[in-house]
Amino acid sequence: MDAAHVESDLVNVLYTEAQIQERIGELAAEIERDYEGKDLLIVGVLRGAVMVMADMARALSRHVEMDWMAVSSYGSGTKSSGVVRILKDLDSDISGRHVLVVDEIIDSGLTLTWLTANLTSRSPASVEICTLLRKPEAQKMPVDVKYVGWDIPNEFVVGYGLDYRENYRNLRDIGTLAPHVYGG
């Protein structure tokens, strides 16, 4: 879906599909350098990270194993609920492995702080985080993020995996959702 299809729902487009693909390519090059010669497992955080994971995996010029976790701290609202729940756990044993958690956005930091602690307790060789977007002003918990696509303002954004009530995930661009859509 193009931004033109939902133009009245967006305040503006922050990043176009082309800009997103370029930045993912740059992040993939950094990841390849840092993990050269290492067995890497990339773990996507469902559902939002599906687009980032797929494009990241295709941008890497090496073999990479993928696994998925589904965690939630949102429910159906626009702000984190503060309670993290595992909805789907990993299928892979990560002990002794290099794990790169891939997410689409870091908002409060609660989910990824909890998730990295959970994964670290499973004895991996390393756990690092890659996120396409980060909202520094919204962070309530410090999160050590190794790879960041962009820092963005504390606004409600949709597209490229980011949703509002499960809509807008298939928007190719990332844009700020208009308050009239979510009553904000």
Whether 34 is catalytic? no
For the chain, where are the E strands, in sequence order?
A: 10-15, 40-46, 65-72, 85-88, 98-106, 126-134, 147-151, 157-158, 174-177
Pairing mode, if any, of strands 98-106 and 40-46?
Answer: parallel
Question: Among residues 9, 55, 103, 107, which one is catalytic?
Answer: 107
Cβ contact 28:42 at 8 Å: no
Tokens representing residue 102 in the block: 């891939």
Strand partners, 101: 43, 129
28-56 burial, b if ≥16 CB within 10 A, otherwise e?
beebeeebeeeebbbbbbbbbbbbbbebb
Q: Which residue has the tokens 């993939």?
A: 28
Radius of gyration over every alpha carbon of the chain, rounded to an integer in angstroms = 16
* Residues known to be catalytic: 107
